[in-house]
Amino acid sequence: MSNNPYVTELEFAIGLARRAGELILEASKDRQTGKGTTVNDKKNRIDLVTETDQAVEKLVAKSIKGKFPDHKFIGEESFAAGEKADLTNDPTWICDPIDGTTNFVHGFPSVCISIGWVVNKVPTVGVIYNPFLSQLYTAVKGHGAYLNQTTRLPLSYPDQLPLNKLSDALVGVEWGSDRSKNVMDKKSRSFVRLAGDPNEVDGGVMCHSLRSMGSAALNYSHVAAGSLDLYWEIGCWAWDVCAGTVIVREAGGKCYGRGGKAFDEDGSGKDLMGHHFFVIRGIADQDGQSGSEIQDRLAQEFFKNVA
Ligand code: IPD
Ligand code: CA
Ligand code: CA
Ligand code: CA
């Protein structure tokens, strides 16, 4: 971490994520009594929010205000309570207090806090912490991505995990909370193409399998680690992906926006503040093609055949 100009922001975010993690664990122990886990629904009966989501976001927002009074803040629950979520060039923290609320409510240990820090609309520091598994993913732009601050990501060097075809991929997808007929029709068509045998399914890829772990930020973490090859979701928000964007990129992965276009190439922050996300892990150069070209080719194939 030498020469890291953002060591203050990184260490602050790590400390905050750990405190938030304690709060989340404490609340989950109270699941039997319902304390901290009282569930309300937002837009529909499966878009859940608990008292703990709100308490963690309060802690995060207050701590940021105390430490960096000039910085801006965007958080899922503040937005839900009516605050604006406009991205400017000012240093801005973008936070999801609990990513994986449905998992939290059910005691499924795929739950994290996600804290991203953006400067000039570029995600620059990312911290994702799963307190149930004691897994801390961190990255600073230009300074690498780490698991638990010691293990450099990806966990396996991409040479050991060649990837050249979508059909060899393990793919992260999510069900999301919009279950309207239109959305479900589109989604299921894509899922069937991804998983289906090309001899029987039009556009079929038959990738190795699909995974759905209920947390966008943890999908990003797994792509950064190299244990998931790609992740695709339409319907996420900046707080789901901001920290993950730094972590994936620093681990050699690539991010794409709507239709598989390079993510925020124009520096506008539009893709970060949008709802279409596709990420692919780091891939080693193969047969005269660079890893980056292979990533782009697979992304284009994905959007042509599947999405
Ligand atoms: C959700 C999770 C889920 C994804 C949704 C997100 P939440 O976040 O990341 O995996 O499918 O798009 O909204 O509500 O648990 O913070
Ligand atoms: Ca939510
Ligand atoms: Ca989320
Ligand atoms: Ca959330």
Using CA atoms, how far apart are residues 307 and 299, in angstroms rounded to an integer? 10
Going by alpha carbons, the residue nearest to atom 4 of ligand 1 is 176
β pairing state of 112-119 and 145-147:
unpaired
Q: What angle do CA 73, 78, 79 make, to 5 degrees?
A: 95
Q: Which atom of ligand 1 is nearest to the CA of 214?
A: 10
Q: Which atom of ligand 1 is nearest to the CA of 96?
A: 16
C-alpha 216 – ligand 3 centre gap (Å): 6
pLDDT of residue 156: 82
Q: What angle do CA 58, 274, 264 make, to 5 degrees?
A: 110
Q: Which atom of ligand 1 is nearest to the CA of 213?
A: 10
Q: What is the best residue among 39, 240, 277 to mutate for testing ligand 1's pocket, by most ligand atoms within 8 Å of CB? A: 240
pLDDT of residue 160: 73
pLDDT of residue 32: 61
pLDDT of residue 29: 87
Please say whether the beta carbons of 241 and 216 come within 8 A.
yes
Quote the pTM value: 0.96
> In b/e form, how buried is each residue of 28-52, taking b as 16+ CB within 10 angstroms?
beeeeeeebbeeeeeeeeebbbbeb
pLDDT of residue 95: 98
Residue type, 51: E
C-alpha 121 – ligand 3 centre gap (Å): 20
C-alpha 95 – ligand 4 centre gap (Å): 9
Q: Which atom of ligand 1 is nearest to the CA of 53?
A: 16
CB neighbour list of residue 143: distance below 8 Å, 6 or more residues apart: 1, 3, 4, 250
Residue type, 102: T
* Ligand positioned closest to the Cα atom of 277: 1
Please say whether the beta carbons of 163 and 169 come within 8 A.
yes
β pairing state of 48-50 and 72-75:
unpaired
β pairing state of 112-119 and 92-99:
antiparallel
Please say whether the beta carbons of 88 and 112 come within 8 A.
no
Any idea which residues carry the catalytic annotation? 76, 96, 98-99, 101, 240
DSSP H or E segment with residue 240: helix 238-250
Using CA atoms, how far apart are residues 75 and 100, in angstroms rounded to an integer? 15
C-alpha 53 – ligand 4 centre gap (Å): 7
Using CA atoms, how far apart are residues 285 and 4, in angstroms rounded to an integer? 28
Please say whether the beta carbons of 76 and 50 come within 8 A.
no
Backbone angles phi, psi at 59, to 5 degrees: -60, -45
Going by alpha carbons, the residue nearest to atom 11 of ligand 1 is 176
Evaluate the CA torsion angle 236, 276, 289, 243 in order and state its sign: negative
ipTM above 0.85, yes or no: yes
Please tell me what DSSP assigns to residue 264: T
172, burial (CB in 10 Å: exposed 0-12, middle 13-18, buried 19+): buried
Q: Which residue in the block uniquely carries the two structure tokens 């801005």?
A: 92
| Gyration radius of the chain's alpha carbons | 19
Going by alpha carbons, the residue nearest to atom 6 of ligand 1 is 236
pLDDT of residue 60: 98
Ligand 1 neighbours, Cβ below 6 Å, are 76, 96, 98-101, 174, 176, 214-216, 233, 235-236, 240
Low-confidence ranges of the chain (pLDDT < 50): none
β pairing state of 230-234 and 254-256:
unpaired
